[in-house]
Homo-oligomer: A and B are copies of this chain.
């Protein structure tokens, strides 16, 4: 997500630049529970198109938050795993979850 220009570069906006947007939080959240295949991500997030899922995963990869492993098999297999940097976002998500639970009405899954 294009959050802001360099004038306002600050750690908070830098973080939102990486985890903000419509799909990245849920993708990262799903991957927090461990390595997932492309298809598994697609099943867990059924309303995202494969095109957009691919794009978001590529961005998270180039931001160093996850690793893409492609196995040269038939049928193809591609796995996505959080890097330590990606996993370290847990504390951020946790703080957001606490605030959301305390201050928002959240319907449960």
In the bound complex, how far is the Cα of B89 from the Cα of A18, in angstroms? 19
Per assembly, the copies of the chain total 2
For window 1-57 of chain A, which residues contact chain B by CB distance below 8 Å? 1-18, 20-23, 25-26, 29, 45-47
Q: Is A78 an interface residue (CB 8 A)?
A: no
How far is A10 from B29 in the complex, measured between Cα atoms in Å? 10
A19 CB, nearest partner CB in chain B, Å: 8
Give A21 Cβ to nearest chain B Cβ, in Å. 8
A72: CB under 8 A from chain B?
A: no
- 6 A-B pairs besides A15-B97, A92-B99 with CB distance below 8 A are A10-B97, A12-B93, A13-B25, A14-B100, A15-B100, A91-B95
